[in-house]
Amino acid sequence: MSGVVADDRVAVAWAALAAVPDPEVPVLSVIDLGIVREVAAQGDSVEVVLTPTYSGCPATEVIAGSVRDALLAAGFGDVRVTHRLAPPWTTDWISAEGRRKLADYGIAPPGPAAADGAQVVRLHRRAPAVACPRCGSADTERLAAFGSTACKALYRCRACREPFEHFKPL
């Protein structure tokens, strides 16, 4: 098989994956979320490597099934989905388009993760300012450390009084 044909099959696979929504934030595709690490195609076979947002994410198997279904529908006969935990996923892998979609959906996108991968431990109760995705005000308050999923926190804007979720930087 020539490289051009294989490259075309990889492009078909990436296009199919771009339509696979994240089950917890359906406005994002698995591509927007940055969890698709590799796609390799040979003939009618394709292998996709996914890195879950965290190792205990309850949506991991649902996502793998959706990826399989999308690739089978795109004409691949043999689909393998594997998971790679290292390097661990970071919110820095969310695409610029994904960040825009989050804000348009009403979820404040995460800021940058620490450059060395370390997590900041805060010994005070005040969380850093998170801009409201509706009006843009930084005058917001965190209402709860966890929102609808463990990777989001619940906030309220003091300016427009609207509640919103913030995707935590990891």
What does the alpha-carbon distance between residue 52 and residue 60 come to, in Å, rounded to a whole number?
Answer: 6
Q: Are 147 and 153 in contact (CB under 8 A)?
A: yes
> Is a pLDDT exceeding 90 seen at residue 147?
no
Query: How high is the pLDDT of residue 4?
Result: 45
Q: pLDDT band for 151, please (50, 70, 90 cuts).
A: confident
**Residues 7 and 73 placed together within one structural domain of the fold:** yes
Q: 11-35 b/e with 16+ CB inside 10 Å = b?
A: ebbeebbeebbbebbeebbbbbbbb
3-state SS assignment for residue 7 = helix
Please, which residues have CB within 8 angstroms of residue 91's CB and are 6 or more apart in sequence?
Answer: 110, 113, 167, 168, 169, 170
In tens, the pLDDT along 25-84 reads 999 999 999 999 999 999 899 999 999 998 888 899 999 999 999 999 999 999 999 999
Residue 94 identity (one-letter amino acid) = I
**Residues 22 and 77 placed together within one structural domain of the fold:** yes
**Residues 70 and 135 placed together within one structural domain of the fold:** no
3-state SS assignment for residue 155 = strand
Q: Give the domain range for residue 76.
A: 3-83
